[in-house]
């Protein structure tokens, strides 16, 4: 796995021309601002914890792993933080939900407003998904900050029960096994499901009119522009060479 400049994305491995591409498992992570979504995603994919990030603009992370003996590509869409003002929810958060095979809802145990936002985010998932409701898990992050806790430890499981989803209380900074366990169980659940129908054979309605798959109407999350990155790297290298030559 490679990290591309300032952790803006983790590049996908190119598939060999002699082998079939891996199955992709797509996960969208949504939650309030400052709850640690990016830290959780990076912790899961790299085992590392980085405590300080630039404001998230909605990044796509990807890594090849084995799930139950099958080589798969896990793609995680990290969405911008949202507030409890339900008037202006970012459009691409809705697109990310529709693109994803599963959704991870995140709140911080140190931020009561992020917990109160979960029900609204769950309703957004329901509205965006239509009849194809994806699996959902609820993560309570920053469990290590006991002195700053604002959400009782019993409230998370109760909310998860009301939303009919699995619940995990984790600490991105202190315990990799908790974070990995939550995401890995979700990936195993998705791996057991039949792969999505190929776009080459879209479903047909009862009237015989071919319908486009919903996912085809969703703009795919941005992947890195490798040619642009190479160009910028060469420019920086050339500048260093000119500086040394002039000295």
List Cβ neighbours of 221 (8 Å cut-off, separation of 6 or more).
58, 60, 75, 77, 92, 96, 99
Regions of the chain short of the pLDDT cut 50: 1-18, 87-88, 198-225, 240-241, 243-247
Domains and CATH numbers, the chain: 21-192 (3.40.50.300)
pLDDT of res. 82: 76
pLDDT tens digit sequence for 75-130: 999 988 876 665 345 677 899 999 999 999 999 999 999 999 999 999 999 999 98
pLDDT of res. 28: 97
pLDDT of res. 230: 58
pLDDT of res. 234: 64
pLDDT of res. 220: 44
Q: Residue 223: how many CA atoms within 13 Å on its side-chain side?
A: 11
Using CA atoms, how far apart are residues 36 and 142, in angstroms rounded to an integer? Answer: 8
Token pair in block for residue 182: 């939550």
Number of neighbours of residue 218 by Cβ within 10 angstroms:
17
């Amino acid at each position: 796995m490679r990290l591309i400049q300032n952790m803006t994305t983790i590049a996908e491995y190119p598939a060999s021309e002699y082998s079939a591409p891996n199955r992709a498992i797509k996960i969208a992570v949504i939650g309030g601002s400052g709850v640690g979504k990016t830290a959780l995603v990076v912790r899961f994919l790299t085992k590392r914890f980085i405590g300080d990030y630039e404001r998230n603009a909605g990044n796509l992370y990807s890594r090849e792993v084995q799930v139950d003996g099958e080589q798969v590509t896990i793609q995680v869409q990290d969405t911008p933080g949202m507030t409890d003002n339900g008037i202006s929810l970012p459009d691409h958060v809705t697109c990310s939900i529709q693109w994803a095979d599963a959704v991870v809802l995140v709140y911080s145990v140190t931020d009561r407003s992020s917990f109160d936002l979960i029900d609204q985010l769950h309703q957004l998932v329901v509205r965006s998904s239509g009849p194809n409701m994806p699996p959902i898990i609820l993560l309570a992050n920053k469990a290590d900050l006991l002195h700053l806790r604002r959400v009782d430890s019993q409230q998370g499981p109760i909310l998860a029960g009301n939303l009919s989803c699995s619940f995990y209380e984790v600490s991105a900074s202190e315990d990799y096994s908790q974070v990995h366990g939550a995401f890995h169980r979700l990936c195993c659940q998705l791996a057991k499901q039949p792969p999505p129908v190929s776009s080459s054979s879209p479903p047909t309605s009862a009237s015989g009119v071919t319908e486009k798959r919903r996912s085809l109407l969703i703009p795919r999350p941005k992947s890195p522009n490798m040619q642009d990155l190479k160009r910028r790297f060469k420019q920086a290298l050339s500048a260093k060479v000119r500086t040394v030559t002039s000295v």
